[in-house]
Amino acid sequence: ENAHTSFCRGVSVTADGERVISAGDDKAIRIWDATNGERLSEFLGNSAFSSIDCHWSDSVFATSGATVEIWDENRSDPIQRLEWGADSVTKVRFNPVEKDILASCGTDRGIGLYDLRLQTPVRKLVMAMRSNSVAWNPMESFNFTVANEDRYLYTYDMRKLSTATCVHMDHISAVMDVDYSPTGREFVSGSYDRTIRIYGVGKGHARDVYHTRRMQRIFTVCYSGDSDFILSGSDDADIRVWKAKSNAPMKPLLPKEREALNYSNKLV
């Protein structure tokens, strides 16, 4: 059985880690058992979905498409519908700290901020070009970074959207995705220029860049839960796993080796 009858646009894991929720172009949302892969339930929307993200503590999730919709796992219809004049919404992400805040990217070049407690959009930022993805810093709850078509990434403080706190350079084509490390100290980006770049928070230039001869345009990137690895998905239909620190040893370290590694890291 196919998971979806058309393009699957997003997958997210529930807060308790027991279920996986997927959404796609077939207007379907499906909930799966994370252990055995059994389909538990299915919801149908009014239009195709472009992304999905689960709440960090409650049994609700958000989808993007024609609008931003908030769903409860136990109800077949959305419990909230958040609109702000965008042609369509391409990405939605919950804040991992302020858990009722979420951000979205739209085809109208807008970045929307929403508060579920107010049941309404809160603020909107319109950029010069369209943003493809957004990610919240898990340790600095007010800060988020957007991946833009103009080949830059922009970090904003949601309390002051008039100017970016940092502009991150080095990509030479549209940036397609961004994701923060669980440590909140750095983030990873993937681009149409076929490279993956890792940036320190507040740094304008990447500390490392990954690419291979066979890897094509990169559409998605994410950190592992322990922040040691990065996963990427690209146009050549491959998923790749990278070390977050290229010089990090893979083997178990002896005490003296660990001390030497910690010392060298402090020097850097």
Q: How many domains does the chain have?
A: 1
Asked if residue 3 is part of any domain, the answer here is no
Show the CA angle centred on residue 131, arms to residues 20 and 104, nearest 5°: 45
Say how many C-beta atoms besides its own lie within 10 A of residue 59's C-beta: 14
Asked if residue 91 is part of any domain, the answer here is yes
DSSP one-letter code for 194? S
Residues with pLDDT less than 50, the chain: none
pLDDT recorded at residue 264: 80
Asked if residue 37 is part of any domain, the answer here is yes
pLDDT recorded at residue 68: 93
Helices marked H in the chain: 255-267
For residue 35, what is the domain's CATH number?
2.130.10.10
Asked if residue 1 is part of any domain, the answer here is no
Segment 5-10 long-range contacts (CB within 8 Å, at least 24 positions apart)? 6/48, 9/48, 9/49, 9/50, 9/51, 9/52, 10/49, 10/50, 10/51, 10/52, 10/53, 10/63
pLDDT recorded at residue 86: 58
3-state secondary structure of 263: helix
pLDDT recorded at residue 44: 92
Asked if residue 171 is part of any domain, the answer here is yes
pLDDT in tens, 116-127: 988 778 899 999
Asked if residue 133 is part of any domain, the answer here is yes
Full residue range of the structural domain in which residue 133 is found = 8-267
Give CA–CA dist 67/127, Å, rounded. Answer: 19
Asked if residue 88 is part of any domain, the answer here is yes
Pull the structure tokens for residue 171. 């990509």
pLDDT recorded at residue 87: 76
pLDDT in tens, 178-235: 999 999 999 999 999 999 999 999 999 999 999 999 999 999 999 999 999 999 999 9
pLDDT recorded at residue 15: 92
pLDDT recorded at residue 1: 66
Asked if residue 89 is part of any domain, the answer here is yes
Residue 164's alpha-carbon distances to 97, 105, 117, 205, in angstroms, are 21, 16, 26, 15
Residue 86's alpha-carbon distances to 35, 54, 67, 165, in angstroms, are 37, 22, 8, 25
